[in-house]
A and B are shown apart, each in its own frame.
Chain A
């Protein structure tokens, strides 16, 4: 995103529409905190600026990651998907990513609405590293992991901030709560953001989730894949 401050008329309309409060008001002008800005482009798309001071831009790597994770209109090079994750439970009736006795885990750093640096994300990937987790090939985070044995991310991206990042992986159900506890323990020390936890299973295996220890509240609402998908010839 670029902000041409000389066009700013000082109306302040933009202050309310930044999800991470990266726009401040000083001396009757809007000021963008470029470190906080996650390139979601709400300011551009909303059209709230009467002088059109906000516009799209083409930042260099690794800042490009901000838009690919924060703006759902930007496509991930690694997955060719729009947004932060993959098809996961949405097409599990065809892809069979999650099978009997296993769960899909999606830890979304920065959600809801706080934003996260990749340094926060690395706290999660490092905590996952000792466990038998598998990152499906089409998850955006997989392309950013420098070393799966340690969970270290590519060092040049750690300071980049995004609206949220989904750390999406598969693991045996027996490891689910030990993994979540390990992440929580690691996060308690240093994490500067929040994370939302999503878990998916086959519909007949709800017991795997409901063996929940205290501290994890399972929402009565969730996403239900109704098994209506049909392959139109061969699997990829």
Chain B
């Protein structure tokens, strides 16, 4: 129940971070035709110009073109994703997914109240909601919050915190450009749910913090 459920940050920080996930359910609609239908769904996700997209065994937009990802969607692709930065686009995506009526489950991660409003506006009705209730245990082991906010955008924990710290230093020292840093991080998120636009904003803020500059919330 996790995957995209524990993206960290305040409401303000999460305002441009929405992940649309489409998934066949085992035993209900994962028919032999499912991969072909999933490709049609993927075309819809791509048509709304996501900042990232993909799925396990299909790829992501940092490593592959949309055509390559589409070609790899098969019976071993459990779900596909598209990442968007504004709720109005999400509303349009929901409308389009309703129209194509694939029968697959559609899940949107992001600000819960914004998504509910967009869903109703698009003619859908939220069925169930997963909430994140935070982190407990030996919290002394965690990296700083500005690192966690970036790494948490890969639900499989594959973005290493040491790499984020290193890239923050390199950006601060002018050794790498923001686009290059974000692209490196995006490669590790194999499902394609990493949001590069939000990541760039978070990294910029982290660089300012490192330099001792005053910052507003990213």
Contact = CB atoms under 8 A, between A and B. Distances in A.
Contacts of A110: 157
A194 B135 contact: yes
Contact of B157 (A19, A106, A221, A231): A19
Contact of B158 (A42, A138, A229): A42
Contact of B127 (A40, A112, A203): A203
B173 interface: no
A95 to B, nearest CB: 6
B161 A113 contact: yes
A226 B127 contact: yes
Contacts of A46: 187-188
Interface stretch (B64-72, B140-148, B210-218): B140-148
A221 B14 contact: yes
B112 A221 contact: yes
B207 interface: no
A184 interface: yes
Interface residues of B, number: 79
A220 B161 CA distance: 24
Interface stretch (A26-34, A53-61, A82-90, A152-160): A82-90
Contacts of A42: 158, 160, 188
Contact of A200 (B23, B28, B130, B141): B130
Contact of A224 (B115, B141, B161, B191): B115
A142 B188 CA distance: 29
A197 B134 contact: yes
A187 B141 CA distance: 14
A197 B152 CA distance: 14
A212 interface: yes
Interface residues of A, number: 82
Contacts, number: 298
A98 B130 CA distance: 11
B2 interface: yes
Given A112-B157, A206-B129, A229-B29, A106 B115 contact: no
Contacts of A218: 131-134
Interface string B116-146: 1001000011111111111111110111000
Contacts of B104: 228-229
B25 interface: yes
A226 B108 contact: yes
A226 B124 CA distance: 6
Contacts of A104: 1, 130
Contacts of B10: 220
B127 A225 contact: yes
Nearest to B163: A16
B56 interface: yes
Given A16-B162, A91-B28, A203-B126, A111 B105 contact: no
Contact of B31 (A15, A19, A232): A232
A44 interface: no
A167 to B, nearest CB: 10
Contacts of B200: none
A37 to B, nearest CB: 13
B127 A230 contact: no
Nearest to A17: B160
A21 interface: yes
Given A194-B137, A198-B5, A224-B115, A236 B129 contact: no
3 interchain residue pairs of minimum CB distance: A236-B27, A227-B127, A106-B1
Given A197-B133, A224-B109, 9 more contacts: A89-B128, A164-B157, A180-B133, A191-B137, A197-B134, A219-B8, A223-B108, A228-B124, A232-B28
